[in-house]
Amino acid sequence: MLRSFVSATLILLAAFWHYGYASRILGVFPTPSISHQIVFRALTLALRERGHQLVVVTPDPVNDPMLTNYTEIDLHFLYADTDGGENWIETLAKERWTDIQDAYLSTVLTQTELILDHPELKKLYAPNNGQKFNLMMIEMLYYPALLPLATRFDVPVVGITSLGLSLSIHYAIGNPIIPSHSSNWDTEEMIFGEAIFWQRLKNFIWVWKFLYKYRTRYMPAQQALARKYFGNDIPDISDIEKNVSVVFVNQQTPISYLRPNIPKVIDIGGFHIAREIKPLPKDLQKILDDSTQGFIYMSLGSNIKSVMLSNEVRREFIAAFSELPYTVIWKFEDDFLANKPENVIIMKWTPQQSILAHPNLKVFIYQGGLQSTEEAVSHGIPVIGLPVFTDQHVHANKMLQEADDGLAEFAQGQTLRFTEERDLVDRACDTSQRSSTSAVHYGRRAVVSASRYGHCFCYFHRISHNFKFGNNCVLQDGQSYSCNDSPNQSEGQNKLTRPRD
């Protein structure tokens, strides 16, 4: 264990600090969701830029033939199981979370075998094929049967997530289980603020019932897949999972709920945020420039789509938007929207970060997704949240606490009347309201931007050199930052700050 940890830290040190010492890294990121993949893609491309050779297993390949030292194994076929047109808004309103979770894990189990049986991947992990790696990075979610890849190549493992850790991973790595903590996104009943005794008791029973079922049914099924494809002599996947050297969690204290973590759990964030904003398409640039009174941007993300909204809810939004003096850019995944007002422009795809960077933007109406939250915070944009499931509620409620009336929650199964929507937009767009809301957002902006690389660099520097926090770290841009206190402490302490001149 100690040898593996030392090896991992040395490799990570080389990967992030030394351009002259290239490593060969295997990245395994199986979840078919672009909101997950953009985080991993940003990290792997950054490693490639530093001279390292990568083999990346992903359902969303870059497919850029100009990239050298960057090989991809395409798992895009996994979307066939998740792009079946299921309306998540209706499903969550009708079915219990437990049933939805069981169905999802069943799908993931099927996907796991499809991944292990993929011809290109089988060729990669075939015994005695001469393939060598220095490190494996893997998405820590629900695919533990892929962990024996590290055993096959005899390399240490670094885990990474695109959102907060799931309960199953907290348990697997020995992190504290806190059934009613506000950071839990995969419980049947999420609790924000104080909870009465019966709520806490209900969550306690549900969490441990789920973990018992996960460990006694789902993990053995994953173990059977691992033995089928890697042989009966492989270690127990639970042991491999428990011994992962370090886990990077894509969340940050200022925009997530503080919770205790073991030392090898390290919060990161903002990896996917563009360092340089791409220009808007010319037609869209003109529309936004001409919106001198301002414009509103609405997008429910990649997993929850606006076309999933019921006709009644659509009518409420249309009624609200028609009474506003602003242009509305609405990411709507269809060619036609009935009774669309003249001030509403629908688009199937939107360059979100470029839109959020436009100075005429008044408010962002969104689903509460983590990446969208980071982008809104980075650009200092007031938000109105309509969370639907999982971690969307966590981020929306955290933003609500931080920004007061700058964000409104849309509960499952509840319809939002156009008068409420209109009033929310009016308040968010009001000059004085925007000023107070943006003060919170801009106060977080430095944390999101700086920690994209600096946060990780400082942690690697500390682990690898046994430095105490407070030592300066030189980042890729040549700027010097200091690391204050230890990771995973109180909200005011866990920051990167520029040293004084």
List pLDDT tens digits, range 429-462: 664 344 434 333 333 333 333 333 444 434 333 3
pLDDT value of position 231 = 95
Nearest alpha carbon to residue 118 among 72, 161, 180, 74: 74
pLDDT tens digits, 299-347:
998 888 888 888 888 888 898 899 899 999 999 999 999 999 999 999 9
Taking the domains of the chain in order of start, what are their residue ranges? 2-250, 282-444, 448-497
Number of H helices, E strands in the chain: 18, 15
Beta bridge partners of 328: 296, 344
Nearest alpha carbon to residue 134 among 245, 247, 10, 51: 10
Task: Give the list of residues 6+ apart from residue 492 with CB closer than 8 angstroms, or none.
Answer: none
User: Is 2-250's fold the same as 282-444's?
Assistant: yes
Nearest alpha carbon to residue 244 among 309, 180, 148: 148
pLDDT > 90? residue 110: yes
d(CA 298, CA 355): 11
pLDDT value of position 124 = 96
Is pLDDT larger for residue 89 or for residue 307?
A: 307
pLDDT value of position 423 = 65
pLDDT > 80? residue 256: yes
pLDDT > 50? residue 141: yes
Lowest mean pLDDT among 38-42, 104-108, 386-390: 386-390
* 3-class DSSP state of 2: helix
> What value does the mean pLDDT take over residues 357-365?
93
pLDDT > 80? residue 356: yes
pLDDT > 60? residue 52: yes
Alpha helix ranges (H) inside 385-430 = 391-403, 418-429
* 3-class DSSP state of 180: coil
**CA distances for 48 relative to 43, 151, 165, 477, angstroms:** 9, 24, 26, 17
> What value does the mean pLDDT take over residues 6-10?
49
Which residue is it, tokens 């249309």? 318
CA dihedral 283, 289, 290, 294 (to 10 degrees): 120
- Please report the sign of the dihedral spanned by the C-alpha atoms of residue 180, residue 186, residue 189, residue 194: positive
Task: Give the list of residues 6+ apart from residue 160 with CB closer than 8 angstroms, or none.
Answer: 39, 40, 43, 137, 138, 139, 140, 247, 248, 249, 250
Q: What is the CATH code of the structural domain delimited by 2-250?
A: 3.40.50
Nearest alpha carbon to residue 134 among 166, 161, 158: 158
Which residue is it, tokens 């996994």? 78
Is pLDDT larger for residue 350 or for residue 129?
A: 350
- Please report the sign of the dihedral spanned by the C-alpha atoms of residue 17, residue 22, residue 23, residue 24: positive
Lowest mean pLDDT among 218-232, 284-298, 464-478: 464-478
Q: What is the mean pLDDT of the chain?
A: 79
**CA distances for 175 relative to 75, 122, 170, 211, angstroms:** 31, 33, 5, 13
pLDDT value of position 432 = 32
Task: State which amino acid sits at residue 432.
Answer: S
417 band by pLDDT with thresholds 50, 70 and 90: low
CATH architecture of 282-444: 3-Layer(aba) Sandwich (3.40)
Is the distance from CB of 496 to CB of 453 less than 8 angstroms?
A: no
pLDDT value of position 412 = 39
pLDDT value of position 486 = 39
Q: In 10-127, where do the E strands start and end?
A: 24-28, 53-58, 70-74
d(CA 378, CA 273): 8
Lowest mean pLDDT among 107-111, 186-190, 239-243: 186-190
Task: State which amino acid sits at residue 276.
Answer: E
> What value does the mean pLDDT take over residues 451-474?
37
d(CA 501, CA 495): 18
Q: 63-87 burial string, b = 16+ CB within 10 Å, else e?
A: eeeeeeebebbebeebeeebeeeee
> What value does the mean pLDDT take over residues 91-95?
78
Is the distance from CB of 236 to CB of 222 less than 8 angstroms?
A: no
- Please report the sign of the dihedral spanned by the C-alpha atoms of residue 88, residue 90, residue 95, residue 97: positive
Lowest mean pLDDT among 237-241, 256-260, 329-333, 350-354: 256-260
pLDDT value of position 404 = 52
* 3-class DSSP state of 48: helix
> What value does the mean pLDDT take over residues 229-248?
95
